[in-house]
Amino acid sequence: MRTLTVNYPGRRFPAVSVTGTECGLGCDHCRGHFLKGMLASRPSSLHRDLSMIKGIEGAMISGGCDSRGRLDLSGCNEAISKLTSEGLRIAVHAVLPTAEECRLLVDAGVESICLDIHGDQYVIRDVLHLSVSPEDYMRSLTAARDSGARVFPHVTVGLSTSDWEQALRIIADCGIGEVAILGLTSAPGTPLEGIEASEEEMLEAFRAAFSLGLEPTLGCMRPRSLRNLEKRLLQMGVRNFASPSRSTVAAAEESGLEVVETDTCCCISCTSPRG
């Protein structure tokens, strides 16, 4: 039977920032705003903070970057190892990790490594304020792939068409078969306030992903004003959704799809075959 996988991560699978609300990078669409919606922690208190959550199944561990665009998770490895030995499923949202950093995360029991991938040098330099290149993203993606973890790259639509087009090609060229596609949502008070991904460009990106042989997931970060997007993607053949509306789930069931619902992050649950 054809299936649709939907994810509703909540209290039992929280997103955690190990830098609290601190970020030294200052991307033009965020400026640290989105860290405020995450559980604030530190590497030294990570195990304690998560162990206190009743019924917890796992967590997405992330945080803000330093001024060089790096997120050092090395201080979290001991806590992650304890958490995974206790049965928790851990994913990390890493930023340009090295091969050694990926290896240590896997040794600690990390199940999935998520990475943002960018392919437009203008976006990298002038929006994200990074002194790196698309080739650096390719190297980190390769390192994550070779670590043995499940690799779940993220691509953001709305910064520039070239950015997501080149990012999808990087992912396909790296031999990774799946991708989470996000839609730009800009925080209030940032230079990009009011700018967000359009429904048509989101659809274009999903078509491009399919044409490259990738299995796309609609990621959780996206403008909720795109009210027809989910159902149009369902009609296109997308079978993996993060936090879809209940009306989309009902439409899927009415069309004959079996809906598999999980309360983990979409980078943890297995993708469904297209059908």
For residue 227, what pLDDT is reported? 86
φ/ψ of residue 40, rounded to 5 = -80, 130
**pLDDT value at position 199?**
97
Name the residue ranges covered by the structural domains of the chain.
Answer: 3-262
Instruction: Report pLDDT digits (tens) over 170-209.
Output: 999 999 999 999 999 999 999 999 999 999 999 999 999 9
**What are the start-end ranges of the E strands in 120-232?**
150-157, 178-183, 215-218
Confidence (pLDDT) at 219? 94
pLDDT at 10: 86
Indicate the pTM of the whole model.
0.93
Could you read off the pLDDT of 249-261 as tens digits, one per residue?
999 999 999 999 9
Q: Residue 57's pLDDT band (boundaries 50, 70, 90)?
A: very high
Q: What is the pLDDT of residues 145-170, one digit of tens each?
A: 999 999 999 999 999 999 999 999 99
CA dist 25 and 35 (Å) reads 13
Q: In which band, very low, low, confident or very high, does the pLDDT at 68 lie, cut at 50, 70 and 90?
A: confident
For domain 3-262, the CATH class is alpha beta
- Secondary structure (3-state) at 167: helix
Question: How far, in Å, CA of 71 to CA of 175, rounded?
Answer: 25
CB environment 20-59: b (16+ within 10 A), e (fewer): beebebebbbbbbbbbeebbbbbbeebbebbeeeeebbbb
DSSP 150: E
pLDDT digit string, tens, across residues 11-50? 899 999 999 999 988 999 999 999 999 999 999 999 999 9
Beta strand 58-62 pairing with 39-40: unpaired
What pLDDT is stored for residue 272 in this prediction? 37
Q: Quick one: pLDDT at residue 1?
A: 61
Distances from the Cα of 154 to the Cα of 114, 116, 209, 253, angstroms: 7, 5, 12, 27
Distance CA 148, CA 27 (A): 30
Tens of pLDDT, residues 215-227: 999 999 999 899 8
Q: Which amino acid is at 248?
A: T
Confidence of residue 69 (pLDDT cuts 50, 70, 90): confident
Category of 178 on φ-ψ map: left (φ > 0), alpha (ψ -120 to 50) or beta = beta
CA–CA separation, 187 vs 192, rounded Å? 8
Edge-first strand order for the sheet with 58-62 is 39-40, 15-17, 58-62, 89-94, 112-116, 150-157, 178-183, 215-218, 240-242, 3-7, 258-262
Confidence of residue 273 (pLDDT cuts 50, 70, 90): very low
Query: Please, are residues 6 and 249 in contact by the beta-carbon 8 Å criterion?
Result: yes
By C-alpha distance, which of 9, 7, 5, 18 is closest to 83?
Answer: 18
Report pLDDT for 64: 94
Whether 224 contacts 218, CB under 8 Å = no
